[in-house]
Amino acid sequence: MAASGTGKSTRYWDCCKPSCAWAGKASVNQPVLTCDKNDSPLDPGAKSGCESGGSAYTCTGQAPWAVNGLVSFGFAATAINGGTEASWCCGCYAITFTSGKNKGKIMVVQSTNTGGDLGSNHFDIMIPGGGLGIFDGCTSEFGFQFPGARYGGVSSRSECSALPAKLQSGCQWRFDWFMNADNPDLSFTQVQCPAELVTRSGCRRSDDASFPAFQMPTNTKWEPPQSTEVAGPNEQCDSTTWDAQKKSHGIIFIIKSRSIFHNKHEHQLAIIDDVGFSTNHDNHLHILNLGCINNSHPSGRNGACLGSV
């Protein structure tokens, strides 16, 4: 039975030997291909480059690529509700992104890995420069530390040029086709693996023919989601901080306070200056996550605070 549902996405590229590259994980024609430092295929028994003395890494050909403006192919580490590696290793899933700047785009991914840090119906998409995550095989494979944050990776397209040449196009894909969407939500259904993915991974499930074939849409023009709100300077509408603001039903603001709390009731908000509200909210503020980020007085009651209403 084809797995389907809704879930979430993240991104990573740790260069390590994928979990589904080990023999015996699932009923497949062969485990996922791995490569040495020169991108030459290795025997499935080769030790992971993320272990001491290991030589097996993710092949650079397993980076994502755009088929057209609407559809891309690629690979992912997965955790599918109700399943194990035996049911998802080398399985393929047609994903439709349901939030973020790439909403409505479609990606077919093959599951080649999993992770103890993955949640329910979680697709951790393999994107060069997308962040190492828990493990780092890239330093031993390429001889230098990859740029960007450990989780999230590089923050601009220009940083992709600091990656090895074979990985740069996969990194740029994130800022081009993927629209630099930040961990968008998704819906998914299991499909037969396209030949293009099997060619790169070398792996096909024994039950692959039992799943519906992926049908390429006849209209491959992507229609961007219509803007309903405009983010402020240096904000991204689908970012974590933006979502936090929406869930708090208000705005993020900075206040300069003469007395953050009354002396006798330290959890009661007192006099506020320079908030700049257009209407009088002084007596009816509902404050969430108020936190002082600077105290200018030894008493600790004066300073700048960040909060949401």
Kindly list the catalytic residues: 14
Buried b (16+ CB within 10 A) or exposed e, 136-166: bbbebbbeeebbbeeebbbeebebbeebbee
Length of the chain: 309
Q: How many CA atoms lie within 13 A of 202 on its CB side?
A: 18
Query: In three state form, how does the secondary structure of the chain look?
Result: CCCEEEEEEEEECCCECCHHHCCCCCCECCCCCCECCCCCECCCCCCECCCCCCCEECCHHHCCEECCCCEEEEEEEEECCCCCHHHHCCCEEEEEECCCCCCCCEEEEEEEECCCCCCCCEEEEECCCCCCCCCCCHHHHHCCCCCCECCCECCCHHHHHHCCHHHHHHHHHHHCCCCCCCCCEEEEEEECCCHHHHHHHCCCECCHHHCCCCCCCCCCCCCCCCCCCCCCCCCCCCCHHHHHHHHCCCCEEEEEECCCECCCCCCCECCCECCCCCCCCCCCCCCEEEEEEEECCCCCCCEEEEEEC
